[in-house]
Structure 1
């Protein structure tokens, strides 16, 4: 981990505490109620044009839902996550599945120290950047731009608000109800924590942050009203 100034944002857990071993162990089980990691990975591979020659960095890799599936499509996956507990689970799975091309780093968006002489081909970040306030999102995206090759691709997927502020109570209520119907009470409660304690932002802000950091937005995937996937190129 790199040494930042003392005034830098401390990437401590906000919202759901994924440093808690019990919560980390339940992550895949809970998220598989409404996600299919294999299908998500295959879609990302197609969208970004990932090849067996590529090095792919997965920021906020968690327990490896994407990273473990991605490993069969590329030369190497670099998995970065602030939770040592979640990385331990990833590493256990990789060993069990005989996956040998994943390298892990316990660090955050702001503290990961990449060898700048070995730039990566692609970066993926799934439902993780919302852990940072907007200013620090921009710093994180700038860090990504520095470690990806020119012309390299970024896939950023997250909860991104698209409603009018006047409608926020109605729209957030609908989001929570939809999650409850799809994945039950525990994930609905997790979404409430996300809304209250974490830092999802508006789509127009996210687009500006990406562009100011040195990315062009090639296209935007609309997964649901407040779920966006940004396919970007490094300028």
Structure 2
């Protein structure tokens, strides 16, 4: 699994100091929930390239960015240096590597890092406040749907978390956020992106097969992917 995420690091989104509308809506909801970041320690689980970690670092006392992909974390470190952000540390590992630690805020967005009751028990015990955002419905892509059904299991971690919180009588606030966006890439870059998604979904297609399937949808040397995302944010 680490190798797959390392491969994705080449094309994974990187931190931008200017928030997309989706990110702005997310942080606005956290503000509505009364989440205070100032002077707080945060652990970002499944931090990736630091898309959220570096926003957090600009608000908090300190951030630990945790991820299984060392390649993703290398990009995060480079972005931190580029934007003069120094209060962030990285750890190449899983939640089990920090289960005896304690933070003010536990944070996870769009990551498959937590999969079981045991994982969520560790997540809950890690921090005083918890922010969790993940898919509520399968992510939809007009191009991926040429090869496979949408990944039905993408929403499973959210369902497990809700069951966990209800079983423990833990109160939470939540919000559903929808996003429709289009991404235009060169045909070759799009083939690489689709190949990665298909590989992680255990779908066996060669890059030539992918290219032949999508090339009639291209506009010159470029092709556009239309993506629909529905996520749920949980604060508890």
TM-score (norm 1): 0.64
Q: Measure, in 2, the Cα distance between the counterparts of 1:200 and 1:61.
A: 19
Counterpart contact for 1:155–1:229, Cα < 8 Å:
yes
Match of 2:78 in 1: 92
Q: Given that residues 106 and 126 in structure 2 are in contact (C-alpha distance below 8 angstroms), is that contact kept between their aligned partners in structure 1?
A: no
2:223 aligned residue: none
Q: Which residue of structure 1 aligns with residue 103 of structure 2? A: 120
Q: For 1:203 and 1:68, locate their aligned partners in 2 and report how far apart those are by CA, in whole Å.
A: 24
Unpaired segments ≥5 residues, structure 1: 1-11, 162-171
Q: Note the residue ranges of structure 2 that are not aligned, 5 or more in a row.
A: 179-228
Give the whole-Å Cα distance in 1 for the aligned partners of 2:173 and 2:78: 35
1:62 maps to which of 40, 48, 52: 48
Are 1:195 and 2:182 counterparts?
Answer: no
Distance verdict in 2 for CA 1:100–1:41, change over 3 Å: farther
Q: Is the 8 A contact 1:123 1:154 kept in 2?
A: yes
Distance 1:193 1:81 in 2: 28
Give the whole-Å Cα distance in 2 for the aligned partners of 1:41 and 1:73: 15
Number of residue pairs matched? 181
Corresponding residue number in structure 1 for 2:67: 81
- Residue number in structure 1 paired with 2:234: 230
Which residues in structure 2 correspond to 1:43-54 (within 5 Å)? 43=28, 46=31, 47=33, 49-54=35-40
Matched, 1:208 2:163: yes
SS of the equivalent of 2:12 reads: helix
Supply the distance in 1 between the matched residues of 2:34 and 2:10 (Cα, whole angstroms).
30
Distance in 1 (alpha carbons) for counterparts of 2:61 and 2:107:
15
What is the alpha-carbon distance in structure 2 between the residues aligned to residue 203 and residue 38 of structure 1?
Answer: 19
**Cα deviation digits, residues 40-89 of structure 1 (max 9, x gap):** 66436524522321001111100000011111111001110111010000
Q: Secondary structure at the match of 2:37?
A: coil
1:42–1:159 CA distance, 2 compared to 1 (3 A): closer
Question: Over aligned residue pairs, what C-alpha RMSD do you find?
Answer: 3.3
Q: How far apart are 1:100 and its partner, in Å?
A: 0.7
Distance 1:193 1:79 in 2: 32
* Higher alpha-carbon Rg: 2
